[in-house]
Amino acid sequence: MRWPFSPSLAILAALSVQSAFAQDMDARARAAAAASRAKSGDSDAISNNYLTPGLANQPVSTVDNSRSFTPHLACQQSATMLEMLVQPGTTGDITHLSISRDKDLDGAFDQVLTLPVPVSGICANGVISCSPGSWNQCQSFKWDIGGSGDLKLGQVDMPDLAGCYCINASCGANLVAGNLPSVLKDLGGGVIGALTTADPRIAVAQASIDGPVIRYVGAQTTACTSSPAVSATSYRANPTAISGDAYAASQSNSVFTALAASPAGNGKAEETRSCTIEREIAVKAWDFTDIVSASGSITSTSSCGTGCLRFQIRGAGTCGSNPPVYTVTFNPLLPSRIVSARIIEMGADDWVQGRINGQVVGSAGKRLWTGDGLPSGDCRISDDPWYNRTPIDFTDRLKSGATSVSARVRGGGGGNWGTITVEIQVDTSCEVSERLVDLCAGYAGDPACRLTQEDVDGVETVRNGVVTGLKPLPFTRLFGTGSCTFQYSRDFFLRTRRYACVVDTSGTTQPDLSRATYIIDHSTETLLADQTRTSDGALVQSTRAFALPDRPAVAACESICKTRAPSANSGVAPAGAVAQKQNVPVGWDSFYHVCSADNVCPLGDGEEIVSPCGCLDDFPEAVVMMQTVRLAGSDLACTAVAR
């Protein structure tokens, strides 16, 4: 017996299969989206799942955790590259701030820095120190790296700092204790910024806070060399070399050559390219410790003028067969700035022998003491002390490398000492460098490019390819800080340009869009129209039933809520604390939260609801705020005085 075929049953079966397939796709899509959000939904997830294990040579897994691999991005790792401890005092200032640092990432701290001043304000790149509990007699300091690679604070002008705010009692009570995690992150961020700027190889894998301590896990990336001046970061110092190196690489690259010779690479189109011509003037102030470092048996250090220090090596002697030796090692950090290095005095009661790199160079005593043996004379001599003030120069030795100066002392009884005084003179004059970084030279020399826009120090000189006739007024700027301050007048400091360059695309085959156009113009929600071409070139039109699978209902928007929390205005500027200039120094911080599945707003500490969960649209408010900032910036640019 044969059952009759029913088209309606076939259609129902097809629709049921289609619906089941759609549901299956929907479930898989939602599962994939949830897995992706779990892996990279916020900055903490990205850091924990990818950044930290990638820099720490730990396994990194795919979104669905089906596969994993261990990348090798870092050459060295340190469990604690940097550790910072802060302790606030009764005045609200941070009275104790110590930083321990692992410079060479070998797992051991080799630099400990304790700030000699209280911290009254924190900036993105430094700190501010004022009279405790007030905002008076303030000094600004910027995080910097010395010539030997040590972290240090350098005094700068207030405008050289960024993002500063007050933390002591003059701006509120218990600001450090109440906001300790954010205070630690801001201080640590400034230090890490200085370290990574000085050495681009350094990367931070993880930061953790434990009470008043923040720790950073570090790694060395980019290049496994002992010097931060590696080829991978050379363009930072010489950005103009990028164009030439890119062209040289393209000529030997088979993929680039194939694409350049393809039809897609032979057409013509116009591309807009932006570039700058900037005059960079750098002023470097040198300290004695940036040029020469000293370590060992240093009894005292005294100044002998600008860039001059005297080191005294002093110790007690014995009358035995092995007189003690006291040694100081001088390390030339910048030999070219060493002017002179001399032993200017030897003194003893009874005997002292001076040595440089283990070689005897002089002595002081009743008679000469030139050998490795004992001097010919009695020990415990009761005469007056003996002095030898004949200068002994070792400048060339110090410029050639680390040099040790030793005092070998023999004495006893009431007179039992020997001393050597070393004087080192260095050049601490300011170093000024100027260079013009022209990133537009390639475009300016290309006949296929034409200049369409130019801005010179804020003055628009070319607009839409036409010269406006405007020229910037003579401009003078101050560079450097403190005693290393210089004033320069130049015809320009920054040119911002935009070029329109013609790219040949004439050989590109234009796609045939006639079929797509026919489908779009003739199809409906229930009917799919199509147009195909037969083997003999004829066009054939056809239609068939069409229906989209049922889709689950989707909310009109992502439900969010707006909240606010009171916030004291702790920002500071060169004129003082901002709150002192306001009638109401306490304001509000606004927050936006994604509502939960049951439409509940997740409030944070101290927050109150401003707008409940729903489809919020604060775009007009954002536009007004951005326009206010833009107009304020324009007004400041017109009325500001060059400093």
More confident of the two residues 340 and 577: 340
Residues 492, 354 share a domain:
no
Token representation of residue 335: 């030999």
Region 69-97: mean pLDDT is: 83
Lowest mean pLDDT among 202-211, 227-236, 299-308, 479-488: 227-236
Asked if 457 and 406 sit in the same domain, the reply is no
At residue 412, the pLDDT reads: 76
- Of the pLDDT bands very low, low, confident and very high (cuts 50, 70, 90), residue 1 is very low
353: enclosing H helix or E strand: strand 351-356
pLDDT given at position 401: 92
Place 142 in a pLDDT band, splitting at 50, 70 and 90: very high
Compute the average pLDDT of residues 410-429: 87
pLDDT at 284: 86
pLDDT bracket for residue 45 (50, 70, 90): confident
Q: Which has the minimum average pLDDT: 12-21, 63-72, 94-103, 362-371?
A: 12-21
Mean predicted lDDT score pLDDT of the chain: 83
So what's the pLDDT on residue 497? 94
Using DSSP's 3-state secondary structure scheme, residue 151 falls into strand
Tell me the pLDDT tens digit for each residue of 567-619.
Answer: 877 788 777 777 777 777 778 888 989 898 888 999 988 899 999 999 888 88
Per-residue model confidence (pLDDT) at position 270: 74
Identify the pLDDT of residue 382: 60
Average pLDDT for residues 154-177, to the nearest whole number? 88
Flag whether pLDDT at 304 surpasses 50.
yes
Choose among 547, 452, 536: nearest CA to 501. 452
Q: Are residues 274 and 306 in the same domain?
A: no
Segment (H or E) for 184: helix 180-198
64 and 94, same structural domain?
no
Residue 233 included in any domain: no
Query: Same structural domain for residues 408 and 342?
Result: yes
Residue 499 has pLDDT above 90, yes or no: yes
Domain boundary among 18, 45, 69: 69
- Check whether residue 92 and residue 202 sit in a common domain: yes
SS3 content of the chain, % helix, strand, coil (to 5): 25, 40, 35
Q: pLDDT at position 260, please?
A: 67
What percent of the chain shows pLDDT beyond 70? 86
- Which is more confidently placed, 103 or 126? 126
369 and 315 together in one domain = yes
Find which of 8-17, 77-86, 534-543 is predicted with most confidence, using mean pLDDT.
Answer: 534-543
Write down which residue in 52, 69, 86 finishes a domain.
Answer: 69
Q: Are 148 and 218 contained in the same domain?
A: yes
Is 553 within the bounds of a domain?
no
- Residue 135 and residue 166 in contact, taking contact as beta carbons nearer than 8 Å: yes
Per-residue pLDDT tens digits for 379-410: 776 667 889 999 999 999 999 999 999 999 98
Is pLDDT above 90 for 276?
yes
Sign of CA dihedral 615, 616, 619, 622: negative
The per-residue pLDDT for 108 is 83
pLDDT of residue 14 exceeding 60, the answer is: no
Q: How confident is the model at residue 64 (pLDDT cuts 50, 70, 90)?
A: confident
Looking at per-residue pLDDT, the higher value among 218 and 232 belongs to 218
| Spatial contact of 338 and 401, defined as CB atoms under 8 Å apart | no
Taking residues 292-296, report their average pLDDT.
92
Number of domains in the chain: 5
DSSP 49: I
pLDDT of residue 5: 42
Lowest pLDDT segment from 74-88, 359-373, 522-536: 74-88
Half-sphere exposure of 451 (CA within 13 A, CB side): 20
pLDDT of residue 12: 42
Which helix (H) or strand (E) covers residue 624, if one does?
helix 619-639
Alpha helices (H) in 420-533, listed in sequence order = 441-444, 514-522
Residue of 509, 505, 510 lying closest to 269 (CA atoms): 505
- 135 with 121, same domain? yes
The reply to whether 60 and 89 lie within a common domain is no
Last residue within a domain, chosen from 69, 85, 113: 69
Q: Which residue has better confidence, 373 or 413? A: 373
| pLDDT the model gives residue 52 | 74
- Residue ranges of the alpha helices (H) in 121-172? none
Q: How confident is the model at residue 639 (pLDDT cuts 50, 70, 90)?
A: very low
Taking residues 140-160, report their average pLDDT. 88
Structural domain boundaries, residue 211: 77-223
Low-confidence winner among 44-58, 92-106, 281-295 (lowest mean pLDDT): 44-58
Q: What pLDDT was estimated at residue 225? A: 62
Model pLDDT, residue 426: 94
pLDDT digits (tens, 9 = 90+) for 112-123: 899 989 999 999
Mean pLDDT to the nearest integer, 229-249: 70
What token pair was written down for 546? 């069409």
Does the pLDDT at position 8 exceed 50?
no
Domain for residue 260, yes or no?
A: no
User: How confident is the model at residue 226, as a pLDDT?
Assistant: 63
Residue 302 lies in a domain: yes
* Residue 179: DSSP 8-state: T
Return the percentage of the chain with pLDDT > 90, whole number.
28
Is the Cβ–Cβ distance between 125 and 187 less than 8 Å?
Answer: no
pLDDT band, residue 301 (cuts 50/70/90): very high
Q: Place 347 in a pLDDT band, splitting at 50, 70 and 90.
A: very high
The pLDDT of residue 21 is above 60: no
Q: Is the dihedral of CA 30, 34, 36, 40 positive or negative?
A: positive
Alpha-carbon distance of 279 to 438, in angstroms, equals 9
Same domain membership, residue 474 and residue 383:
no
Question: In terms of Cα–Cα distance, which of 124, 103, 125, 128 is closest to 113?
Answer: 103
**Residue 640: predicted pLDDT:** 45
The verdict on residue 118 lying in a domain is yes
Over residues 418-440, mean pLDDT: 91
Helix (H) or strand (E) holding 12: helix 7-40
> Both tokens of residue 41?
């939904």
Question: What tens digit of pLDDT does each residue of 444-491 get?
Answer: 989 889 999 999 988 999 998 888 888 888 778 888 877 788 888 888
Q: Is the pLDDT of residue 294 over 50?
A: yes
pLDDT of amino acid 523: 87
**What pLDDT score does 9 carry?**
39
Residues 115 and 63 in one domain: no
Per-residue model confidence (pLDDT) at position 253: 79
Indicate the pTM of the whole model.
0.51
Token digits for 226?
């002992």
Residue of 226 and 157 predicted with greater confidence: 157
Does 115 fall in a domain?
yes
Whether residue 19 is predicted with pLDDT greater than 70 in this model: the reply is no
**Is the pLDDT assigned to residue 188 strictly greater than 60?**
yes
- Tell me if 136 is assigned to some domain: yes
- 65 phi and psi, to 5 degrees? 60, 20
Residue 319 predicted with pLDDT over 60: yes
Question: Would strands 60-61 and 351-356 be described as parallel, antiparallel, or unpaired?
Answer: unpaired
Decide if pLDDT at 11 tops 50: no
Does 516 map to a domain? no
Distance CA 11, CA 8 (A): 5
